[in-house]
Structure 1
């Protein structure tokens, strides 16, 4: 029996809508930290205190599939038409089992972790150096991990990056769901996928002890291509 024209059209549309085809996907090249997580042991009268430090260049939770890895900080300079990008390192520091500000109960008291961005600098591939901005910057946003270079976000160095003020600012899409972030900012727009920098963050001060942070190296990730499966017709 012949299928009526209207029914055949609906059937054809349903088949096409559910069909998938190979689709070339590509993620651009990018540079990222070779090592992001550090742990320190601080002796004290109550025994060892474990201090954790995480460092990131991107909000990794916001990246997916072929989404490019990009920093998102831009600063408007006086007299210039367009904002310039500036390089930053996100820092998340806390002592083991630190009480979470967003919960308000449980955990152990915070141990002050003092940090001075005036000790931080970048060594470029040609050997030249660039000092960080002298302030510590707090997170700015309810959704993503990032900061802004504004007086509202800036705190003078040295500053306690394990404070309730820092850990009370946790966006919804973040590298760390338990604790907030502080940022070190450098006035350069030269960061690129082939950058070969050494990022020297200086040291943490905890219970009267200086904890040098190992220099951070950049690893370069090439363009990644693959074949994904895409629906032939999108809704």
Structure 2
């Protein structure tokens, strides 16, 4: 079955909006795990507008030996204040997977992937270090991405397809073209020897169609929609509904 990794960034956003420790990140993670999810995702950023470095460390201790831990981020963003940088955090906590994303401070959320033909030379030493730490490395890529052989050559094991355009098209009632693009991208990545993850704006409404269309989908990382839906039905119930879709 495709692994569900729950992204807890929005829990941190709600906590940070008021200060203090509520809602509690650890309690949210435990609730998701007890409901059956196979992983937890966080995406710390240098401006620390949601998940903070101490959250990353606390969750690492909590999750070890229980579920997969996926940390996303821009490996080129420099250390700033309490943020030590993505690679430094990976050295500390040794997550199961590090998903490299070419985002910047100015982005509300990740909205594009790497150019594999042009970015892999810069990524090569970082991928090597992460692999030496025992981390699986995934690269965030656009639907229609080319050059998967470059990712394989530097030791990347997975790619995560950016599903934002598919989700938008689905909401507008005509997802056929975007879905076909994702399917073709997944097929070419798998043929090159990469496992395929997916994420961004996936929801209960659009996940089933996407999952059926892509055989062998390894993992989906879902946060924004899942946490929003959980406001109405509860976190445990919502996680279980996603798992039922993935089955």
TM-score bucket (shorter structure): under 0.3
Higher helix share: 2
Query: What's the TM-score, normalizing by structure 2?
Result: 0.23
Higher strand share: 1
**1 or 2 for the larger relative contact order (CA 8 Å, sep ≥6)?**
1
Bigger radius of gyration: 1
